[in-house]
Each structure stands twice: as C-alpha cells, then as structure tokens.
Amino acid sequence: MIIGWINGSFNIETVYDDDLKEAISDCQDLYDKAQDAADAVQSLNIEIRQLAKSRFDNVASQFEGVIGKITAIRDLYGKEDDLMQSQGWFASTLLNNSMMEQEQKNLEKLEQERDALTKSS
C-alpha cells in the first residue's frame, strides 16, 4: 500500500479498516468541497472586477456627457461674443459674469465626478 501512495495511485477499496476508510472518504469530501469553494470565490472575484469596471465605464460615460455639454455651452458663449464684437459691441460685464458663473458650476460638477471616480477605484 505504501508504494501506491508514493506513485500517487491510491484506491480506497484496498483499505480494510472501516474507520480509516470512512476517515479517508470524509477527507476526500472535504477536499472536494474546498475546491468547489475556491472555484466559487474565484468566479465571484471575476464578477466583482467586471462590475467595478462596468461602474467605472458608466461614470466615465456620464463624465464625457457633462464635458460635451460644457464644451457646447462654452462654444455658444464664444460665438455670441464673436457676434457681438463683429457688430462693434463689447462684451458686457453681465455676460462675462454669466459665463464665469456657468464655468464655476461646470467646475463643481467636474470635481464631483472626479471624486466619484476616485472613490469607486
């Protein structure tokens, strides 16, 4: 029986002691359950990583949408300023203040998005 253990081949049927046979069978069952648990943990870790990536992609997509809106508003203000200057008007303090307020709001939104991205990582 020792030779069977050395070369890795072992047959539980060659054990004649019922208590030892049951103990070996119990150990094999525990080993199989441990392997199943390890496989389940690995699968869950893969799923967790996929969910984290999906969450990051969603936040990044929203972030890009906000940037797109900010760019569109900035372009609109720029065109309005160009139009006013082409007609001989100078940009008013009210317009400048409005642009500054809008950019401050945009900056605050971007900072919140950045914070959300850094917290989720």
CB contact at 8 A, 90 and 84: yes
* Tokens representing residue 70 in the block: 């900010």
When mean pLDDT is compared over 23-27, 29-33, 60-64, 93-97, the highest value belongs to 29-33
pTM: 0.48
Rounded Cα distance between 73 and 81, Å, is 12
Q: Which structure tokens are listed for 57? A: 């992609």
Residues 52-63, mean pLDDT to the nearest whole number: 88
**Mean pLDDT calculated for residue range 80-86:** 78
pLDDT band at 51 (very low <50, low <70, confident <90, very high): very high
* Per-residue pLDDT at 44: 96
Q: What is the pLDDT of residue 69?
A: 87
12 Cβ neighbours under 8 A, 6+ residues apart: 21, 24, 25, 28
- Three-state secondary-structure class, residue 71: helix
Looking at the chain, how many residues does it have? 121
DSSP 87: T
Amino acid at the residue 94: L
d(CA 73, CA 99): 9
Mean pLDDT of 84-106: 74
